[in-house]
Structure 1
């Protein structure tokens, strides 16, 4: 099939570092498809390295919570208006929105109504919150690309074209992690138990979780004085914030890791997970990374009263539609690992569950097998599968 004059122009918008990385891989897949493509829109450094014609930097869309979104609403609206008008004047062959659903679904609805095929990569978590967004997705999206196999049934039932493309993390994280090698690289003492502690990447998460996690670690070190603690920090700001909290709750044998201290191309969190016997982790993508490293974990999360009210107001729900919040439990359809949330996230409860994760070899072996099967289920040629869908729509548009 011949390609039309616009078939090589792909519009793309990513608003978070994780979306930037996902989109850059799609761009590589498009280039491997032997099509002379030009990608344009909003993205970060990874997309720009792949040749994105960047109209606005990714941080123009990056917001942290509802209050920050309200403060930045005027600039967000200006950015939205600019890219929408550009693409309505000169429609691309396909638009690809990567995550950022509040921004991208609105944009996709406008472009689809104007005849532009739209692809949305990373399905919103409608299986947990705000299922009614499916109606907006149906109006906005020509084709969904989803990360998890269970999501396809949701969209198929609703009559929305969907392709399961796997999770890129499953390609990046080794099927058989090297615990001893990671410990050697970090200079940890031989034979010691090692706990990775991940209290989140946002200021609010660290403020609410880190004091509880540190108090739990104090309890654990009363049981094992030689317990080694690894705390990866996403940036210097979080490191400084955590250090202030640590001064109030001193911990022995604590090693803070930062990105510049890690191996090239490997997040500091991955080094901590690979070296650990168990992980105490804030709910989020880090729980999936921990599962892919096949480590026992305890998942926790705490929202402030204001954030709980805001989430309930925005979603119309007091709690998720599923009984689990952690991605490993969602994917395994089971409470494979403990979840200690809100009032249950006491230092005593966290310490008790984490001690079991650290010291129960039968549990560790069972989780290793279950997480290995999960890893295999998520392992797909994500860039190639995504590019195949996009190029098919581009050819049809041409």
Structure 2
């Protein structure tokens, strides 16, 4: 049996880890997983020591306000793994939580893997050395990330992103629209305000006001969204009723990929969902708000020109990104209208997205699983 300690901090990490665990099961057989897990890992039989929600905090100010709570969770998890050492510990993203835990576990002789490089190309480049000190193996999602670790004493493998393998090269927009009962004769705009509560709270009103303004100008629009749970769905519907009664919007829970596949374009918060939307070949507008303190700190710290993954991967401004005070209808409505009315621009973007998708495809989960098994082969029983 392969014993794996795991920490995931958000739904995309849970999905990433689930793909890795399934590949490990296929290659090795029985795999025991325990740690901070989400629902996808729980479905695979993982033992939840702490729920994933314990780490679902965004922004510098937000993390600072929960610092003692996060330290307590990390210390309790560390002592658990020291008493019950796994063959390998894998931290999925969440670098501010995972790297210190990985370092301390590694010092005790436990093999450690960090899966998903921190955004060292955007800010806090000093974390390159922290990663090298904390992990025996680094698995990156994108080829350009490997160069930042050259010269460091850490094995680095680009495994690609599993979404590029999971999502077909050609989206089934019409089929998905029929499945979800969406109107075939309307322009469908997906509204995706984020998977975390803080993201939802900051984005929901400006996104709905933007949708309302778009609909006031064009009655041929229909809106769709997918939220992660009933509470967020209720919040979304209540906000629509308060700020935009009569807005034609269909809402779901837990089917964000189907919703994105069904749409013509999307208004969304930054994060992995921008990559998913790119792979589904959908034009998009990115809008992102955070606490005022986090915003001004990050403005000073971030060196990257872009935050959205499509722009970072292309190293050009493919899709518009707006932040903080620009996340309002006056800015977002014209950006969405551009993709609606400039068909050539939208088609050119889809073509670029297609080419990027082809280049990204590889057997991610199998590559990652083989690397993990190679690392811990001497520990296997």
TM-score by length of 2: 0.90
Partner of 1:119: 113
Output the CA distance in 2 between the equivalents of 1:11 and 1:35.
16
Partner of 2:222: 228
Asked if the contact 2:240/2:247 (under 8 Å) is kept, the reply is: no
Instruction: Give CA-to-partner distance per residue, 1:322-374, whole Å, 9 cap, x none.
Output: 11111111111110011122233331221111011112221121111111122
Tell me the C-alpha RMSD between the 2 structures.
2.5
- Map 1:36-55; keep pairs closer than 5 Å: 36-55=30-49
- Map 1:250-329; keep pairs closer than 5 Å: 250=244, 252-259=246-253, 267-309=254-296, 312=297, 318=300, 320-329=302-311
- Map 1:80-159; keep pairs closer than 5 Å: 80-89=74-83, 91-159=85-153
Instruction: Give CA-to-partner distance per residue, 1:141-179, whole Å, 9 cap, x none.
Output: 111001112111112254432111111222232221111
Is 1:380 paired with 2:362? yes
Partner of 2:73: 79
Output the CA distance in 1 between the equivalents of 2:53 and 2:329.
35
Shift of 1:180: 1.3
Shift of 1:14: 2.3
Unaligned stretches of 5+ residues in structure 2: none
Asked if the contact 1:257/1:268 (under 8 Å) is kept, the reply is: no
Alignment match of 1:350 (pick from 314, 321, 332): 332
Output the CA distance in 1 between the equivalents of 2:199 and 2:54.
22
* Deviation beyond 6 Å, 4+ runs, structure 1: none
Shift of 1:82: 3.2
Shift of 1:246: 1.9
Q: Would the alpha carbon gap of residues 35 and 71 (structure 1) be closer, same or farther in structure 2, given more than 3 Å must change?
A: same
Shift of 1:64: 5.1
Partner of 1:13: 7
Bigger Cα displacement from structure 2, 376-385 vs 45-54: 45-54
Instruction: Give CA-to-partner distance per residue, 1:211-255, whole Å, 9 cap, x none.
Output: 322333233223321211112222222222223332343264522
Number of residue pairs matched by the alignment = 380
Bigger Cα displacement from structure 2, 381-390 vs 68-77: 68-77
- Map 1:167-246; keep pairs closer than 5 Å: 167-246=161-240
Asked if the contact 1:196/1:280 (under 8 Å) is kept, the reply is: yes
TM-score by length of 1: 0.86
Alignment match of 1:392 (pick from 367, 370, 374): 374
Radius of gyration: which is bigger? 1
